[in-house]
Each structure stands twice: as structure tokens, then as C-alpha cells.
Structure 1
Amino acid sequence: MRRRLSILAVVGLASVALAGVARAQERELWPGVSFRQTIQPTPNGPVVVDVLTGPRPGGTTTLEPLLSNDTLTGRETLTKIEQRLSASATYAGINGDLFNLHTGLPSGALIREGRILSLPSNGRSTAAIMSDGTLDVRRVIATGAWTGAGVAHPFVLNRIPDANGTALFTSAWGASTPTVSGSVAVVLFPFGGATPGIDQLAAVQSVVAGAASVAIPPDGAVLLASGTGAAQLQAEAVVGATLKTRVDLQPAWPGVVSAIGGGPQIVRNGAVVFRAGEQFTTSQLGERAPRSAVGQLKDGGIILVAVDGRQPGWSVGMTNYELAQTLVRLGAVTAMALDGGGSTEMAFDGTLLNRPSAGVERPISTALAFTYTGAFVRALLPVVSPNGDGVDDVEPLSYKLVKAAAVTVTLTAPDGSTPVSQTLDQQPGTYPVPFPPTAGTSPAEGVWKLAVAATDELGEQTGMMQRFTVDDTLGFLQTSLPRLFLPPGGHDLTISWKLTRQARVVVTVETKAGEVVRTLARRRYDTGAQSVVWNGLDRAKKRVKGGVYRAHIVATTALGTVELVRTFAVRQIAGQRPGS
């Protein structure tokens, strides 16, 4: 009888460059807005906290709620929202309010440019951006009423009415009203929007009874009623008449520019709010899970926080109370939680920054983001390595304008020369910058700088600079593909690479999450092809488990630090010991 052993098969997958020099954990996204990621060890496992920090809202950079698909119904991922809106601004943000998974309707308030699109939840908090840039978190209720013949009748805003109720649908709902059996619809046009505390007068354009659905004019609205509400509407709203609609917040909330629902409030006056008394279950608040929050610092700056969770080995998440403690440690004097769990997402310029718990983004209803309308230089590769190995060989340079402006573009080489220097008038759009500056030539190694300065038609000046390094020190990372037999016999996995100059090199085998399993080399290597071997054991000389691992090489020279990663799969299979 042949003895059978557990054998590990190693299959190489792909080679990619790591972003950042020496794994930089904080970077500027545009002037005044930065991103950083921290890993907090806890008794329950690691917790990864991603933080966007920006200035007091207002001016070139502000804070705004975003709406998926530009309608209350339906959902969209955060990266898609940012990509869709990129022509109007540059965005860095997180997910927003809780929502109905089936319809996409947010559970609470949504106010944009002073107009209410969705009413607040009576039992949960709302976070508002005030006209002076203050983040104000409070609980409010809202009421709506329409008046025709002198008597005010209640309505709900952008929600399906009950059996005898009335609803006001604006274009934020979508292209047409929902189908309500036996309903009466009154089309109002023009309609200036539902601004709290302001009477809106609109003419009745048409009255439709029993229709399956009624189109909502882009600059209009539709009152939709059923049962006794339909009878009242049909009696008082005739074509050509003027109706008054009004939405009020209680208590009154003057100065609100925009607002988003969520909750609960977790920081008040710089202290943790232990029990906010809001309508959330114990499981929603007490379990360790992915979390999102918004807070304001003492100096008026804003932080957007996303905590990864439900990913053992990467991040276990937080309870709501731990989230509050984290916001206080970050310096928040006011803060509110947002939707969490699988909805927790953070993105910049249409690229995901965190790791959603499901492994992919969940389409969401709303988001909260820093928005920037100045000249923007797109994020560059930290290191360009034009050595022909197919990894970060080229750097496509470009800049974006969302306003017409006079622009000065300067590309500075490592020796201080400016192979690109031009001033021109540009319309909104994205514009390439040639690199290498001279086609068909290899760019000089060292630090390059791309700077863009713009003055728009109102005289507002903005500018941005990005640096990147050309360094072809490290390349051609490979892993061999043998079967890996664990000791006492068998083959090893070979990890090989090439150096164009002498460098100090660190070679590690890591888990997919980046935890070091084994350090294979930490020394200086000469120019040329180099390699190390791995026998499938960890630092404690124990066999690793099956799964995805990565070979990680860091090379340091006078030019800086460059990194390469190649992932490979390790799986346990049944096999026979060689020679048995």
C-alpha cells in the first residue's frame, strides 16, 4: 500500500506593483483633502480605519450629499456615482443613508441646494451642512401640505401615499410617478422645489384620473392621491388653478444648505454619545461590523470615516460605540453614523479606497462626498518603471478642468529642466500631457513634477501638483510553478527578479491581506537576475494553509524604494511522496 501525503500545489497568478513608496499610509488627494489608512490591533483582531480629511465646507472644496442615478429610486455603486459626475467636479466620499434594498429609497432626509428631496425619519438623526460650514446633527420631523380652496391638506414627499393619502412627487423621484390604483394625479408646472418654510405656488397643468403612471416634468411636480385624498384633490385642483404647497421642518432649521439622513448621533460636544435613543436595534449597534460616519473637527474641518469589517485577518469591524470612540480620538466634536455593513464604501475619483465586506461594492442610494471644482491633476503612479516587464511601464499624464480657465501646465524633469511649459485658454474637459516629453525616448530616472495652475472666468485661482519617480531598478518578478512538497522532501518555490543596479532587497511571502508569513531575504543584491526559494513553511516552520499568497519584493536605492508583488495560489491536494 502506498502512503499518501498532503501536497501543496503552487500556481502563479499575476504580478502587480504596489502603490506608494514604502507603503505610504497618507496622501493628498487634492489641496486640502487627504486620505489615510490605519490598522488598529485589538483583542478581537485587527481593525482597518480609512479616513478622508477635508476643510470646513464651502468654496472650491465643499461637502455634498450625492444621489444615485440622480433619482431617489434605484441604486448605484459609489465608484459609479463619482465617475458619472466627474465632469462637474472631483469627488472623494463614503456611502450615505440607510435605504430600502428593493427600491433604493433612502430611509431619511436628503436636502440638496436647500431643497428637500426626501423627508427625515422621525426616529433618527439628520446631519446638515449649514451655510457657515457647520455640521449640525439633530432630530427633526417634517410636514407637508397643499392648499387649493383655502383648506390645507397633508401630503408626504416622494413616498407612495397610503389608502386615503396624498403624495407630492418631484423630478427627484424619477421620470414618472408610481402606479396607485384608483388615484388622481395633478401635474404642477412650473414647480420651484420643496424648500423648507417657503410657500410654493404652481399652476395646475393637467388632471389625470386612474392613470397607471404619470410623467413628472423636469421642472414640475405631481400631486398623487387615492381614496378620500383623491376626492379632495379632484374637487379643488382644476386646470389653470394655482395650488400652494409647503414643507416645514419642526423645529425650524434655518441655514441648511444640504443634509443627509443616517444615525445615530455618536459624538456631541466632543464626547461619545452612549445612548442616542434613536430607532435602531441592538444588533444594528452592538455587533462588530463595517461602519461609516461623518464628523466635524474643532477647527471646522470634516472627516469621513469608513471602517472595514467582517473580514478576519484584515479587519473585524467595530460596534457603534467603538465607532464613536474612534471619532473622538480622531478629534471630532460632532459626528453621526451612516449606513454600515455591506454598504460601507469609500472612493476617490471613481476608485475604491476600502475593502467592502462582500468583496465587491454594494449599489447604494446616497453618498456623502468632498467635492472639488478646481484644476485637478489625476493621481499618478508613484513609481514608473520603463523596463519592459509590463508593470507600470508607462505613465499617462493628464489634468481636468470643470470650468473654463486660463491654464499654465509645467512638467519638470529630475534635472530641473521643463520639457513641457505652456499657457493656454481651455474649456472644461480632460487634457493629456505628453510623457515621455519626447516620443521614442526613455525618460530620465528620478523625481518628475507635473504642475497645473488655473484662473477661471471669475478670477478664482486653483492649482495642483503631482510628483512621480522614474525608477527601473526592479522588474520581471516571477514565481516558478512546481508542486511544493512539504518537508522532509520535495521541491521548493522559486521567486526570481532582476535588478538594474545594486539595491537592498527585502523578500517576503504574505497572505492576500498583506500579513507576513515568512521573510526570505533581507540583504543587498548586485545587478542582474536574482532569486530565493520558499519551502512552504511559515516563520514557525509550520506548513501554511491552502489559499492565496503573494511574493512581495521591496528594493531600496538612492533613487527611493520600489515594490513588486506577484500573487499565487496554494492548495492542498492528495499526492504521493516522491520515491515511495
Structure 2
Amino acid sequence: MPIRRALIPAALAGACLAPAMAAGAVTPVPTSGAAAGKPTSIVPGISYKVMRRSGPQVLHVVTFRANALTRLAPAQASGSLTRRATLSDGMASRLAQGATAGINGDYFDLATGTPSGILSVGTRLLASPEPARSALTIGAGGTLAVGRMALPGRYQRIDETAATPFPIRTFRAVNRPLPSTSATGVVAYTPERGAPTPPGSVYEVVVALDGGGGLAINGRVAGTVIAQVPGGGATMADGQVVLSGKAGSGTAIQNELPNGSRVEIETAIPGIAADARGAVGGGPMIVQGGVAVPDAGEGFTSNQLSGRTARTAVGQTADGAVLMVVSEGPQQGVRGYTAAEQGQMMASLGAVEAIGFDSGGSSLMAVGANQLIPSSSERAIADMLVAYYMGAQLSIPADNRVTPNGDGVADSITLGAQSPVAGTTTVTIARRGGGYSATPINQTGDPAYTPVTIDPKALGMKEGPYTVTVNLTPADGSAPTSQKRILVVDGTLGSLRVSSRGAKKKRKVTASFTLSRGARVTARVTSSTGRAVATLTNAKRMAKGRRSLTWNGQEGKKLAPAGHYTVTVLATGPYGQSGLRDTVRVR
């Protein structure tokens, strides 16, 4: 799996690292968080866990409840509806705004990058709904609703001096071109499209909205026509909208909306709550009233519904908890779910209402900017759903153990301090029990994401447990927030080297390593699929110094097949257990 960022959370690394790694790449063995089979707190109130079920099936689950600091919101993956971006890049661009965990959203048009259904960020309408498919709406208090919706858009020239009112005209879509089969019709385009309007046999006008802003779900705006653009290709600045008409609809625009005329535009979407603070398309609805929906249809193909694949869903429990769930599929080496089975799975997690989103290679989850679902290449997507936390954040470390023994593996660690609101941010490091304290970060300013490198040798940190704390005092006078992570500085185990000599019955695999103090050592060999092959030693007491263990290439009484094998060495000393692993090719 490609690593896109330096900060790979330990809680997540165990879910996304394959058992076998590139030969010669020595890596630490995570001993905390979900990587060790335990749920992990990402930030206060938002947790992540990996669930393994029969099938086999693997689920990645983020759980939280909306409150004053925590919310779920849709977002564009990139800054443009006509340009896709990866989930990890989309998350990276929002870290300073409090982005904590994210999943992929709606299906999209591969040719244009436009999402298939509605996209509303806050109350701003960026793309119109697909009437045949369900969409997710997020209320101001965090209540989720799933349902189908349509856009009966309207516009009308306003001229109080006219003898009779101008007719009310309709438009069919926002930022989604008319199908080639449509003989006539009107589309509204906004700057979020990120590109000029499509050229064609259309007539367009540019409208400057009063007070700027844009189109809103269940909103009405007014503005002044400032430009005529026959043939399409209109450009828009912030606070502007283009009305684009085809055939007779274009003629009506040309005749009724000259430069300087006033126009009112309404984007009412029946079925969306008045307090809606975001909406994103998807489908199908997979849980309703706590019961899995066996066949929602919604215009999806049988392959989209019945194929066993990786899938993404969002649901809400009876007590208001939000579930963001991505299940792995055949690409990750597990069975995968059908849409109906996905509904059963979400209901089993307690969802009383749930909706599916784009699936297969698009099914993605990230914590911070780190994509968690194993993939040979991360697919670019149109939009995403993001869990935001507006308090101080300190990223989950790659492991909570730093081993400053000069072997180039985990000699230091870099955490990310997120300050999603303006204020004063401090990061402190204190040895548990006293005797050491340092403040590597103390800054006042705008929202920011600040890398914090902890190098024990450079900072004069002796071996032992430490607490790293980020504190944020907001400039607006609101309550301070903080988050803590526990780190252990432990140089007991280092400099693992695994080599293989000979072939078949003359094989000899040697694992050598250095102990800075006496420790109990366990060493195991596993296959490229993670299957246990051999135990070289188990909790054996070994003295300080350079030590080595050998494997004869046997699996039980038989010769193990040629291929790649991983040797894992674990050492338990006064500061707990540390581990290293390396992969070697055996002939």
C-alpha cells in the first residue's frame, strides 16, 4: 500500500499494512491502538476501530456524536466540481480547519468529475439532486435524514414597472449540464463548478447576486444581469451565477434578461429540513427504521447492488451516534458485501437509518491525511464526508514507542498539532513522574496544522514514559481544549538485520539484532499472507549485546515454499514491549 503521508496512525497501521513488506525495509511493530486490536480515540469523542467478521470481512468504523465541537459535513474533494481529488489530498487541505476523519461520498461522472447527486456544503448548493436516488441530509443538530429529493428550480425577471409580471421560468439542474437527449431546458451554474460553462447551442446570462454569496438549499436570491454569453463558455466570479438555456429556453433568457435587468432565483428542494446544514448524494438507502432494506433499487445496476465489493456507508443509531463505515472487498483479499448485506451489517451495528455511497475502488477512509484502505492506487473522487473536531488535536503517532538507538528506525517521531480556530497553541512534553518538561511549540495565530518532531536525543529525553499535550486557547474567549498522547522512549531493541543464504535444504535465514539491556525475546516467521510458519524463540531471556537467531527454512517438518517471509522480533524490558520486523526472500 502506498504511504501518502509521514503520519501513519498506529491505530490504523495494523489495518492497512500487509503482512509482507518489501525486502530490507525494517519497520517497527505497532503495539498500541487498533493495530494491536484495540479501539482508538482519534480526538475526544471520535473513535476508530477495525472489526473482523466471518466471511472473511473487515470493517473500518468511525463513531462520534455531534456536539458543539464535533460535526459531520460534506465537502468537495478538490476545489472544483469538474476536477476530482484523492480523499487523502482532500483531507490534507482541511487539517487546519479541523478535519479529523473522512470517507468517500457520491458516485460521479468519470468524464466530467461531477457528482451524480446533490452536494450542499453548509447551506450553499453546489450540485442538484438526482431524483431517483437517495441522499443524506445533515441537520443543524447533527440529525441525519435519508431520502429522495428533486430540484424544482425557478427564476423570474423582476420589474415593478412592467404592466404584467414576467413569467416564472424553471431550471432543471445546478452545475450539471443537460443530457444530450434534452431538446430544451435551463441549467444554473455557480463558481464552484471551477471551469467555464460548457460550450454549445445555448444562450447564457451572467447574474451578479446582491451581496455576493451563492445559491442555497431552500433559498431565494436576487441579482442583476451583467453579461450576455451566446454559445456558452461563460466564466463566473464569486457571487455570480450563470443561467444557461437550450433552444426555446435559451430564447426566453435572451428575450427576458437583458443587461441591467433584475432577476430572482429560487432553489427550493422539497423534503430537506429547514435547518439543513449539508447534503450529499449517494444511495441506495440500506437501513430504514432499524431494518435492512433488502432491495432499494433506485436505478442502480444489478452489478452495483449485488456485486460483492468494498462499500461505504453512513448511519445513525437511536441515541444519535454517527457511524462512518467502510468495508473492505476482494481487492483487499476479503469477500466484500452486496448492498443488501451492507444494510444488514449497518443494522447490526445499531443504525436505525443508513445510506450507501460509491463503492469498489472508491470506498475509502482516512484519518487525518492518511488513507487506510489497502489499495494499489488511491482513486480520485468527487466529494466526501468529513468529521470535524474544532478543538485542539494531536495526531495518533505511528506507534507510541520511540527507539533512539541510531538504527534509523523510529529514532524520532513527528506528530501533527491541529488548531482549527485562531488562538494560542502550546505543545508540551513531560516525563511521567516528573524530571523532564519541554515546550517545543508556543504560538499565537490563525488556524494551523503544525508538525511537531520529537527527537529524544536532540531534546535530552531519557528512556521512559512521556505525556505529549497540545493546548488551544481560542482567541474568541471560548473554552480552551486539549489532547494528550502517551509516548515511550525505549532503546532496548535495535538494528535488526535479516539475511538468507543457500536454497532449499541448505537454507539458512539469520536474524541479528542489538539489545541495549537484557530482555525477554520472542521471534516468529510468517508467510507473505500472514500465516504463522515458525517460532524461533519464545520469551527467552537474552543478555545485552548483539544477538542472532536462525531459521532453517522449515515449516514444521516440511520445507517451506520459496518466497518472501517476514521475521518479527519482540523484546520486553522495563519499559514494555518493542518490536521490529523485516522481510527476506527465501529460495
What corresponds to 1:277 in structure 2? 297
State the Cα deviation string for residues 59-85 of structure 1 (Å, max 9, x = none): 221101120212211110000001122
What corresponds to 1:290 in structure 2? 310
What corresponds to 2:224 in structure 1? 203
Match of 1:15 among 26, 39, 45: 26
The residue type paired with residue 111 of structure 2 is H
Alignment of 1:23-102 (within 5 A): 23-42=36-55, 46-56=56-66, 58-102=67-111
Q: What CA distance in whole angstroms lies between the structure 2 residues aligned with 1:365 and 1:247?
A: 22
Change (3 A) 1:40 1:385: same
- Cα contact 1:40–1:48 (8 A) shared by 2: yes
Shift of residue 131, structure 1, vs aligned partner? 1.5
What corresponds to 1:133 in structure 2? 142
What corresponds to 1:247 in structure 2? 267
State the Cα deviation string for residues 37-74 of structure 1 (Å, max 9, x = none): 122232xxx22111111122x42211011202122111
Is 1:493–2:493 an aligned residue pair?
no
What corresponds to 2:247 in structure 1? 227
Change (3 A) 1:440 1:425: closer
Match of 2:379 among 353, 362, 386: 362
Q: Name stretches of at least 5 consecutive residues in structure 1 with no aligned partner.
A: 1-9, 572-580
- The secondary structure found in structure 1 opposite 2:24 is strand
Q: What CA distance in whole angstroms lies between the structure 1 residues aligned with 2:531 and 2:344?
A: 26
- Cα contact 2:74–2:383 (8 A) shared by 1: yes
Is 1:351–2:370 an aligned residue pair?
yes
Shift of residue 521, structure 1, vs aligned partner? 2.4
TM-score under structure 1 length normalisation: 0.89
State the Cα deviation string for residues 119-159 of structure 1 (Å, max 9, x = none): 22112111111112111111122221222262122212111
More off after superposition, 249-258 vs 76-85: 249-258
Identity of counterpart residues, as a percentage? 32
Change (3 A) 1:85 1:207: same
The residue type paired with residue 26 of structure 1 is P
- Cα contact 2:315–2:351 (8 A) shared by 1: yes
Shift of residue 11, structure 1, vs aligned partner? 8.9
More off after superposition, 14-23 vs 73-82: 14-23
- Cα contact 2:511–2:550 (8 A) shared by 1: yes
What corresponds to 2:470 in structure 1? 452
- Cα contact 2:412–2:453 (8 A) shared by 1: no
Change (3 A) 1:541 1:435: same
The residue type paired with residue 287 of structure 1 is G
The residue type paired with residue 445 of structure 1 is E
The residue type paired with residue 119 of structure 1 is S
- The secondary structure found in structure 2 opposite 1:142 is coil
- Cα contact 1:11–1:481 (8 A) shared by 2: no
Q: What CA distance in whole angstroms lies between the structure 2 residues aligned with 1:542 and 1:340?
A: 41
- Cα contact 1:420–1:437 (8 A) shared by 2: no
What corresponds to 2:403 in structure 1? 385
Change (3 A) 1:432 1:144: closer
Over aligned residues, Cα RMSD in angstroms?
Answer: 2.4
Shift of residue 349, structure 1, vs aligned partner? 1.2
What corresponds to 1:563 in structure 2? 579
What corresponds to 1:338 in structure 2? 357
Match of 1:541 among 518, 537, 558: 558
- The secondary structure found in structure 2 opposite 1:284 is helix
The residue type paired with residue 402 of structure 2 is V
- The secondary structure found in structure 1 opposite 2:343 is helix
Change (3 A) 1:251 1:410: closer
Q: What CA distance in whole angstroms lies between the structure 2 residues aligned with 1:17 and 1:453?
A: 29
- Cα contact 1:121–1:141 (8 A) shared by 2: yes
State the Cα deviation string for residues 148-204 of structure 1 (Å, max 9, x = none): 262122212111134422211011111321222x32110011253222333221110
Q: What CA distance in whole angstroms lies between the structure 2 residues aligned with 1:398 and 1:99?
A: 32
The residue type paired with residue 543 of structure 1 is A
Is 1:238–2:235 an aligned residue pair?
no
State the Cα deviation string for residues 190-232 of structure 1 (Å, max 9, x = none): 2532223332211101112235x11111211111122111111
- Cα contact 2:507–2:553 (8 A) shared by 1: no
Change (3 A) 1:499 1:157: same
Q: What CA distance in whole angstroms lies between the structure 1 residues aligned with 2:278 and 2:272?
A: 15
- Cα contact 1:127–1:137 (8 A) shared by 2: yes
- The secondary structure found in structure 1 opposite 2:95 is coil
What corresponds to 1:4 in structure 2? none
- The secondary structure found in structure 2 opposite 1:69 is coil
Is 1:299–2:319 an aligned residue pair?
yes
Change (3 A) 1:72 1:398: closer
Match of 2:549 among 520, 527, 532: 532
Q: What CA distance in whole angstroms lies between the structure 1 residues aligned with 2:58 and 2:438?
A: 41
- Cα contact 2:456–2:489 (8 A) shared by 1: no
Change (3 A) 1:397 1:289: closer
The residue type paired with residue 361 of structure 1 is E
State the Cα deviation string for residues 371-425 of structure 1 (Å, max 9, x = none): 1222122332411000111000012355232322244543211332352259966
More off after superposition, 364-373 vs 418-427: 418-427
How many residues are paired up? 548
- The secondary structure found in structure 1 opposite 2:300 is coil
- The secondary structure found in structure 2 opposite 1:232 is helix
Shift of residue 498, structure 1, vs aligned partner? 1.8
More off after superposition, 322-331 vs 235-244: 322-331
What corresponds to 1:416 in structure 2? 434
Match of 1:187 among 175, 199, 206: 206
Shift of residue 479, structure 1, vs aligned partner? 1.1
The residue type paired with residue 210 of structure 1 is G
- The secondary structure found in structure 1 opposite 2:346 is helix
- The secondary structure found in structure 2 opposite 1:82 is helix
Q: Name stretches of at least 5 consecutive residues in structure 2 with no aligned partner.
A: 1-20, 158-164
Change (3 A) 1:297 1:365: same
Change (3 A) 1:515 1:308: farther
- Cα contact 1:413–1:449 (8 A) shared by 2: yes
Change (3 A) 1:328 1:537: farther
Change (3 A) 1:476 1:141: same
Is 1:150–2:150 an aligned residue pair?
no
Q: What CA distance in whole angstroms lies between the structure 2 residues aligned with 1:107 and 1:132?
A: 26
The residue type paired with residue 264 of structure 1 is P
Change (3 A) 1:11 1:298: closer
Q: What CA distance in whole angstroms lies between the structure 1 residues aligned with 2:166 and 2:377?
A: 53
- Cα contact 1:404–1:425 (8 A) shared by 2: no
Q: What CA distance in whole angstroms lies between the structure 2 residues aligned with 1:293 and 1:227?
A: 41
What corresponds to 1:174 in structure 2? 194
